[in-house]
Chain A
Amino acid sequence: MSARILIVEDEALVALELRFQLEGMGYGVAGVAADAATARSLAAQEVVDLALVDLNLADGPTGMSLGRELAGQHDVAVVYLTGNPDLLRDEVAGAIGVLCKPADEAVVEAAVDFALRRRRGDRSIPAPPAMRLFG
C-alpha cells in the first residue's frame, strides 16, 4: 500500500504538476487543499502519511501553523514548500523540513522518500541537499 500524500498549495497549476509528479513516483495523492480549513478536513477524513505544505495559502500565511497542527494532531510527516524560505526562520516542532519552490522532480522525490523514511524511524539515508531540515 503506497503512501498517501496531501498537497496543500493554492496555485492550482503548481498543485496539479505536483500531483502528476507524485503519482508518477507511485504515491497516492490523498487530496489537494488550497487553504487551511480544507486541509484540516481532508486530514480528518482521509489517511494521510505526508503533507507538502506551502506557507502562503488562499486564506493567508496560514501554512506554518497548519503544518504544526497536521504534524502534532494527525501524525502526518510535514514538509514545507515555499518560495520564501526566509518566512520560515524558526523550526517548527514536528515538521521535518523545508523545500524551496520551484523544486524539480528529483528533489521532490528525494525529499518525499526521506520524509517517509523518517516517519517510519528509518534514518539510513541522508537528507537531500536541497532540503533544510528541522531538528
Chain B
Amino acid sequence: MGIGLSASADNSAGENGDEADRLAALEAYGILETSEERAFDDIVALIARICDTPMALVALIDRDRQWFKARYGLEMRETPRPVSFCEQGLDEDGLFVVSDAAADPRFADNPLVVGPPHVRFYAGMPLVTDDGRRLGTLCALDTAARPQGLDSRQALAMEALAGQVMAQLELRKALRERSRTEERLRLALITSENVAAWDWDLVADRLVADARFAEFYGVDPAVAAAGAPLETYLHRIHPEDLDGLRAAVRAAVEGGGRFEHEYRLLGPAGEIRWVQARGACLSDGEGRPTRFPGAVVDITDRKLAEEERSQIARAQRLLSQELSHRIKNIFAVVSALVSLSARQFPESRPFAENLRTRLAALARAHEFVSPSPIGERSAGASLHAFLADLFSPYAGPDGRSRVLIEGDDATFDDQAATPVALLFHELATNAAKYGALSRDEGRVRLTAERRCDRYVLEWVETGGPPLNGDPMRQGFGSGLATLSVEGQLAGRLERVWAPEGLRCTIDLPARALSRRPDATFRAETSPESVR
C-alpha cells in the first residue's frame, strides 16, 4: 500500500454506503467551491498563530479531492484525495498529529512532503457533524519536524476552533435552507394569484408578510415586509371569528403542529372575504416553538357556492312541503265536491259513497308516503302501518281489528301508493259487503312474505257467509283490484272462492312497492293489532 496513497476504493471512511452518506452530508452544507469567507479565514490565521505554524487549513474531503475552504500560508486550493494527510485523520477520533512526515512510512513519499510545500509537521482536528459524519479537518502544518507535537493549550485551541468551524458550517447551512425556502415561497407567490404568505418569528413576535398578505389584512406593505407583532395583523379579522382564530393559533403553537383554519376578513368597506390559512409551527432542537410560516388563500367563491347550495336545498325542501300540503288539501276538496254533488242528485248517493271511500283510501295512502313537514326525505311508508289504518273502520264492536296482518312488512313509495290503496280498499269493501267482514264474527288474515325477489300477500277470509263458487257479482270492483296488481304493480292476482271464504293471492315483484334499492322488508314478531 503506497505511503500516503490511499485510493478511494480502500478509503479510511469505511463502507461505500457510509462514504455515500458522508458525501451527501458534505453536499448539504453547500460549501465546496465557495469563495473565501472572513469567518473561516480568521480561524485558520488564529490556529496558525496559536500553534506557531506557517500554514493552516480548513480542509474538506470530497469524493476524489480535498478542497480548502480557508488557507493560511498556502496557495493551493485543492489536492487529489490520495495525497491528503487529512484523509488519515478521518479515521481518528480526535487530534491527529504527525511529528515528522519525512520519517513516517505513511507520508515519507507523499508529494506534499517531498515537494512543495514540504510538510514535515501536521496536526489536524476532524470536523464532525452532529450525527458523526466527518467532513474534513482543521489543520496546522509546518515545514519543520516537531517531535514534541502540540502542547495542551494548542491542542485545546485546535478542538475549540474545529468546533467553531463546524458552527460556521451549520450557520451557513441554516441560512442557505432558509433562503431556499424563501425562494420557494416567492415562486409560489409568483405562480398563484391568490396566495398571501407570512412568516412569523415566534421568539421575537415578528410576523413578516408579502404584499398580498398585507393587502388582505389591511397592513402597510412596508410594515409587513419589515415585520410586525401578530396583533398588528388582526384588526381586519371578523369579530365573530377572532376568538376561534386565536384558539387555533394557540393550539398549533402549543401542539407544535399543523395549522389550518377558515375565517373571514373584513374589507375597508365592510365587504367579507373568506380565507383559508394553512401553516406549520416549527420548533428548535429543544422543542421550543420558534417559527410559524404559512399562507392564506381566498376561498370566498367556494364559500358563496356552498351557501347558495344550502339555500337551494332549503328552498327545495320548502317546496316539497308546500306540494305535500296542497295534495292533501285537494283530496279534501274533491271528497267534499263528490258529496256535495251527490246531494244534488239523491239517486247517486250510493255511487257517491262508493267513490268517496275510494278517494279516502287514496288520500290516506298518499298521506302515508308524503315527506314529513320536518323536511327529511321519508324512507317510504310502512305497508303494514298503512293497512292497519285502512282497515280500522272495520274494527269489531270491541274496537279490535278484524283484519289480522302478519309476516314481512314492506316499504312503499308514492308510485305504489295509488294501486296499494285501491287494491286493499276493494278487498276490504267487498269483504264488508259480501264476505267475512259482513258478519261480526268474520275475520280476515293477511299474511305477507318476502320470497327471493317477490313479495307475496295472502288474503284469507273466514267466518263470513258460505260461498258457492264464484259469486255473481264481478263488477268493476274486482276489476280495479286486478288492474292495480297486474297493471300498475306488474304482479299477479289470483282468487279462489273456497266455501269458508275468499282466498286471494297477490304476488308482486319486490321492487314494485318501492324503487329505492334499500327498501326494507322486515319480519314482524307479532301480528298487527289496532288501538
Q: Please list the residues of chain A having a beta carbon within 8 angstroms of any beta carbon in chain B.
A: 11, 13-14, 16-18, 20-21, 56, 83-84, 86-87, 100-102, 104-107, 126, 129-130
26 interchain pairs (CB within 8 A)? Answer: A11-B329, A11-B332, A11-B336, A14-B333, A16-B340, A17-B339, A20-B339, A20-B343, A21-B339, A56-B325, A83-B325, A84-B373, A86-B374, A101-B331, A102-B331, A102-B335, A102-B336, A102-B359, A102-B360, A104-B357, A105-B339, A107-B393, A126-B399, A129-B392, A129-B530, A130-B392
Tell me if B356 is interfacial: C-beta within 8 Å of chain A.
yes
Question: B387-425, CB under 8 A of A: which get 1 and which 0?
Answer: 000001101000100000000000000000000000000
Check A14–B399 contact: CB distance below 8 A: no
| Overall SS of chain B's interface | helix
Q: How far is the CA of A16 from the CA of B393 in the complex (A)?
A: 24
Contacts of A100 in B (CB 8 A): 364, 367
Contacts of A87 in B (CB 8 A): 373
Which of the residues A17, A102, A106, A129 comes within 8 Å of B340, measured between beta carbons?
Answer: A17
A-B contact count (CB 8 A): 66
Question: B314-349, CB under 8 A of A: which get 1 and which 0?
Answer: 000000000001001101110111011001000000
Tell me if B372 is interfacial: C-beta within 8 Å of chain A.
yes
Closest beta carbon of chain A to B337's beta carbon, Å: 6
Q: A11-B329, A14-B335, A102-B363 are in contact. List 17 more A-B contacts (CB 8 A).
A: A11-B336, A13-B333, A13-B336, A14-B332, A16-B340, A20-B339, A20-B343, A21-B339, A56-B325, A83-B328, A83-B332, A87-B373, A101-B332, A102-B332, A104-B357, A106-B393, A130-B393
Check B332–A84 contact: CB distance below 8 A: no
Contacts of A86 in B (CB 8 A): 372-374
Q: How far is the CA of A131 from the CA of B360 in the complex (A)?
A: 15
Closest beta carbon of chain B to A56's beta carbon, Å: 7
Contacts of B340 in A (CB 8 A): 13, 16-17, 20
Q: How far is the CA of A59 from the CA of B356 in the complex (A)?
A: 29
Q: How far is the CA of A31 from the CA of B372 in the complex (A)?
A: 33
Contacts of A126 in B (CB 8 A): 399
Tell me if B531 is interfacial: C-beta within 8 Å of chain A.
yes
Contacts of A14 in B (CB 8 A): 332-333, 335-336
Q: How far is the CA of A106 from the CA of B363 in the complex (A)?
A: 17
Contacts of A84 in B (CB 8 A): 325, 328, 373
Which of B325, B336, B374, B395 has the largest count of A CB atoms less than 10 A from its CB?
B336
Closest beta carbon of chain A to B437's beta carbon, Å: 15
Which A-chain residue is minimally distant from B337 (CB atoms)? A13
Nearest 9 Cβ contacts at the A-B interface: A83-B328, A17-B336, A102-B335, A13-B336, A14-B336, A101-B332, A102-B332, A17-B339, A129-B392
Q: How far is the CA of A105 from the CA of B352 in the complex (A)?
A: 12
Q: How far is the CA of A16 from the CA of B336 in the complex (A)?
A: 8
Contacts of B530 in A (CB 8 A): 129
Contacts of A130 in B (CB 8 A): 392-393
Q: How far is the CA of A129 from the CA of B388 in the complex (A)?
A: 11
Q: How far is the CA of A2 from the CA of B99 in the complex (A)?
A: 135
Contacts of A21 in B (CB 8 A): 339
Check A129–B399 contact: CB distance below 8 A: yes
Which of B333, B372, B530 has the largest count of A CB atoms less than 10 A from its CB?
B333
Closest beta carbon of chain B to A35's beta carbon, Å: 16
Contacts of B393 in A (CB 8 A): 104, 106-107, 129-130
Check B395–A129 contact: CB distance below 8 A: yes
Contacts of B372 in A (CB 8 A): 86
Asked, given contacts A11-B332, A13-B340, whether A104 binds B367 with beta carbons under 8 Å apart, the answer is no
Closest beta carbon of chain A to B374's beta carbon, Å: 8
Q: How far is the CA of A26 from the CA of B505 in the complex (A)?
A: 44
8 Å CB interface, B359-392 against A: 359-360, 363-364, 367, 372-374, 392
Q: How far is the CA of A101 from the CA of B465 in the complex (A)?
A: 34
Question: B509-531, CB under 8 A of A: which get 1 and which 0?
Answer: 00000000000000000000011
